[in-house]
């Protein structure tokens, strides 16, 4: 039995106080992160400079003592490693060369050819596995195929993932070939992360909610199922967290169908609903609204207590319903942690 609380929750244990970490816990709301980011020069350089990426991963652990550290990287490093052009525009986000034709796809590398490019990420994990406190779990991650594909097809983030839906309708064969390549690459990438020291991995399907009906099954559930099955075959006992954000009713049964050990939920569903419908199948992670990290106060404390209570009868990892935002107050993060650990 491990003494790492996060791994115990992922194994299905109901703990008196849930382990806690926070999506984007290494980020722009922290002054120490901003200083290291400035030292790196740009975002991609920070991701690919192992010492600096490890440093920003460790910063929130030193400040707050979270129960887990999540590798500092980005979901778009896979398309970068596959040969897509990737750059970041300050204040606007990522830009990529687009994949909209068979000729575009033909320029991509194979799933087995990504590791040299991603070697600095694996080195970051090796550093973290040495430097993290003994009680702190190390989480690796990747973007899920559908979500990564939406960026590769549009060349940027979009409000409705319209370009990806359009390609799916107009050239289903090309779209599915891209999903398959991303699924294979994700397996390879996460497997290497585990070899480098990750103790659990998380699959972020940030735009899963825009897939409806059978397409949710086909492009969110099935790729996750294949990725998880292959990872568990290669790494027996590996726990996997899946986050099909804004899946709504699709959260129900997601763990059983995909083999995920934990389902992370966003804040568009209530903790009480998720306890009744999702936690019955195992560990749930979530789901405080990130706005409370900005506004703080009594509402933060009350909502944190409500979530902890709602999930208290089963395995639970306390987290936000999405990533912390750059305008968050670091003091509010401490207030959230203190509230959870008071045994609320």
What does the pLDDT look like over 275-321, one tens digit per residue?
A: 999 999 999 999 999 999 999 999 999 999 999 999 999 999 999 99
Where are the strands (E) in 12-92, listed by range? 68-70, 86-89
For the segment 319-327, the average pLDDT, to the nearest whole number, is 98
pLDDT of residue 1: 59
The single-letter DSSP state of residue 140 is E
The residue written with tokens 């052009």 in the block is 85
Nearest to 50 by CA among 136, 125, 117: 125
Q: What are the pLDDT digits (tens) for 61-79?
A: 999 999 999 999 999 999 9
pLDDT of residue 336: 98
Point out the catalytic residue in the list 29, 48, 64, 151: 151
151 labelled catalytic: yes
Check if the beta carbon of residue 310 is closer than 8 Å to that of residue 302. Answer: no
Q: What are the pLDDT digits (tens) for 216-236?
A: 999 999 999 999 999 999 999
> Average pLDDT of the chain?
97
Check if the beta carbon of residue 248 is closer than 8 Å to that of residue 210. Answer: no
| Alpha-carbon gap, residue 144 to 138, rounded angstroms | 19
74 labelled catalytic: yes
What b-and-e string marks burial along 220-248, b requiring 16 or more CB atoms within 10 Å of the CB? bbbbbbbbbebbeeebeebbbbbbbbbbb
Token pair listed for 64:
């707050």
| Alpha-carbon gap, residue 324 to 327, rounded angstroms | 8
Helix or strand (DSSP H, E) at 150? helix 145-154
Point out the catalytic residue in the list 74, 104, 113, 180: 74
Q: What are the pLDDT digits (tens) for 80-110?
A: 999 999 999 988 899 999 999 999 999 999 9
Residue 128: band (very low, low, confident or very high) from pLDDT cuts 50, 70, 90: very high
pLDDT of residue 318: 98
Q: What does the domain layout of the chain look like in residue ranges?
A: 5-341
Before 190, cis peptide (omega within 30)? no
pLDDT of residue 90: 84
pLDDT at 255 over 80: yes
Check if the beta carbon of residue 287 is closer than 8 Å to that of residue 313. Answer: no
| Alpha-carbon gap, residue 165 to 211, rounded angstroms | 9
pLDDT at 179 over 70: yes
pLDDT of residue 344: 45
338 labelled catalytic: no
28 labelled catalytic: yes
Task: Specify the length of the chain in residues.
Answer: 344
Q: What are the pLDDT digits (tens) for 9-53?
A: 999 999 999 999 999 999 999 999 999 999 999 999 999 999 999
Task: Say which CATH architecture domain 5-341 belongs to.
Answer: Alpha-Beta Barrel (3.20)
Point out the catalytic residue in the list 28, 34, 63, 156: 28
251 labelled catalytic: no
What's the predicted TM-score (pTM) here? 0.98
Point out the catalytic residue in the list 8, 29, 33, 37: 37
């Amino acid at each position: 039995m491990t003494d790492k609380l996060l791994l115990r929750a992922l194994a299905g244990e109901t703990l008196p106080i849930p382990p806690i970490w926070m999506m984007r816990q290494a980020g722009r709301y922290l002054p120490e992160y901003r200083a290291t980011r400035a030292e790196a020069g740009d975002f991609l350089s920070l991701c690919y400079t192992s010492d600096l990426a490890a440093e920003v991963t460790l910063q929130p652990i030193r400040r707050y003592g979270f129960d887990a550290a999540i590798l500092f990287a980005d979901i778009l490093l896979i398309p970068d490693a596959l040969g897509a052009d990737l750059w970041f525009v300050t204040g606007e986000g990522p830009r990529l060369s687009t994949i909209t034709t068979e000729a575009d796809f033909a320029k991509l590398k194979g799933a087995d050819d990504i590791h040299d490019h991603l070697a600095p990420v694996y080195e970051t994990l090796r550093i973290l596995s040495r430097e993290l406190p003994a009680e702190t779990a190390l989480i690796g991650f990747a973007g899920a195929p559908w979500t990564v594909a939406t960026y590769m097809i549009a060349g940027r983030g979009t409000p409705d993932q319209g370009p990806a839906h359009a390609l799916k309708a107009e050239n289903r064969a090309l779209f599915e070939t891209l999903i398959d390549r991303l699924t294979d690459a994700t397996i390879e990438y996460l497997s290497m992360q585990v070899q480098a020291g990750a103790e659990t991995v998380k699959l972020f399907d940030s735009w899963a909610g825009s897939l409806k009906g059978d397409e949710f099954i086909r492009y969110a559930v099935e790729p996750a199922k294949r990725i998880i099955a292959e990872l568990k075959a290669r790494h027996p006992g590996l726990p996997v967290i899946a986050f099909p954000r804004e899946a709504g009713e699709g959260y129900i049964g997601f763990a059983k169908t995909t083999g995920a050990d934990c389902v992370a939920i966003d804040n568009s569903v209530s903790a009480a609903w998720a306890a009744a419908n999702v936690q019955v199948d195992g560990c749930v992670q979530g789901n405080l609204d990130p706005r409370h990290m900005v506004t703080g106060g009594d509402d933060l404390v009350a909502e944190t207590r409500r979530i902890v209570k709602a999930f208290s009868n089963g395995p639970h990892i306390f987290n936000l319903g999405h990533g912390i935002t750059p305008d968050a107050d670091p003091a509010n993060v401490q207030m959230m942690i203190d509230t959870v650990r008071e045994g609320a």
